[in-house]
Amino acid sequence: MTRASEILKKNSSRIIEIWERRVKKEIPAAKSSSNLALRNQLPNVLEDIAHIIDRYDDLSEIEKFEQFEEIIQNSLEHGRHRATSSHYTVKQILQEYIIFHRVLTETLIDEEAYTEDVGIVLKYTLETAMLNSASSFSDSLQEMREKLIGTLAHDIRNPISTAYFAFDILKVTSDKDRQEKLVAMGMRSLKKSLELVEGLLDAISVKAGEGIMLNFADTDIVKEIKWVADEASEIYTKEISFNTEANSMKGIFDGTAIRRVVENLVTNAVKYGAPDTTIKIQLEEVENSVVIKVHNYGKAIDKANQSEIFDFLNRGNGSHDSGLESWGMGLTLVKSVANAHGGSVDLHSTDEEGTTFSITLQKDFNEPGKVRTELNYSEN
């Protein structure tokens, strides 16, 4: 079967191109994918198949190696990738492999290299790939749902705790101005809790490639971040400073999502920052964008983990020992919200300078209305 293996290797580019054209024609979700994203792990899967065909000259051994180690990892990665690609389903993933099987078979027949033995090895190999990709897709989608729900449920605790704190102090204070401030703070926090509960219900129905639902509207971002800074100053003993040169900074933003992003970063800064140091929030306007920075002094985040810390699925795949999990799923929310505003998130962290998260948001990237965010797959 060595000749069949050599033909697959020699024609790998043509095989992938034919497969790509057919998949885009027959599978709805593939039509919106870029060529690079669509191919993903497929060239590696093809290489694995060629190696397996070359190895199995004696078919009496094949059933002893049904779970072909070469192809398992790449097919698992293929499934995980499709879970972060919009509109994919298990059925469509299996269709991709069926089309792949047909293209491989046609290529080998055209080159007069298809035999019954080659067909058997292809069958075993692709069945293994299909099983692993479908399983990985389903597991990853469930993981995304659980993490989104977990993030929202965790965030709901903060405003409820703040409301409880406000109304608890209200019982013992007789200062009228103080009472009015505490009631206002408690009511704002309860309103925010209701908004987060709505997001929690949205997360239950999330599909492949989807994140949280955002509601864009004309928003003054200075007002939103000042609200976070004021509330954080009430809750935490650490000093929280907010600096901006503008009295107002308007754009089409999801104010609730931005508040959650900044709250998450401030909470982590308080938790991991050095004692007796100030947490600094800074807001800048740069052309048609705004930049939000949250800084704290303290132990730096390891350089090797600074990109992985934002990845949704990576933390569920062997990263628990790196300490990233302790930063909370909210950092994935930070990246998702930034991307949804046509922006980005940057991290700079050293022991000397401390840790700064910088979030860039475009002011007019979106139209007013509801949009569900997309999850971005990491190739790291």
Measured in whole angstroms, the distance separating CA 311 from the mean position of its chain's CA atoms is 5
Would you state the pLDDT for residue 79? 87
Closest alpha carbon to 235 in 326, 151, 163, 327: 163
Q: Are the beta carbons of 283 and 292 closer than 8 angstroms?
A: yes
Residue 353, token pair as written in the block: 């300078």
CA distance 282 to 212: 26
**Domain coordinates in residue numbering, the chain:** 2-140, 210-374
pLDDT at 28: 83
Distance CA(254)–CA(196), nearest Å, equals 13
**pLDDT tens digits for 182-214?**
787 788 778 777 766 766 655 555 555 566 778
Element of type H or E holding 202? helix 176-204
Architecture, CATH, for domain 210-374:
2-Layer Sandwich (3.30)
Pairing of strands 279-286, 240-244: parallel
Gyration radius from the chain CA atoms? 26
Work out whether strand 250-253 and strand 210-220 pair parallel, antiparallel, or are unpaired: antiparallel
Residue 183's pLDDT is what? 83
Residues 6+ apart with CB under 8 A from 242: 225, 226, 229, 281, 282, 283
Neighbours of 201 (CB within 10 A): 11
pLDDT along the chain (380 residues), means of 10: 89 92 88 73 87 72 59 86 80 92 94 90 89 89 73 72 78 78 79 68 57 85 92 86 93 89 88 91 94 93 74 45 42 82 91 93 92 57
Six-digit token string for 37:
């994203």
pTM tops 0.75 = no
Q: What is the pLDDT of residues 309-350, one digit of tens each?
A: 766 544 434 333 333 343 444 577 788 889 889 999 999 999
Q: What is residue 206's predicted lDDT score, i.e. its pLDDT?
A: 55
**Spatial distance between the Cα atoms of 75 and 128, rounded to a whole number of angstroms:** 8
Sign for the pseudo-dihedral over CA of 195, 198, 204, 205: negative
Architecture of domain 2-140: Orthogonal Bundle (1.10)
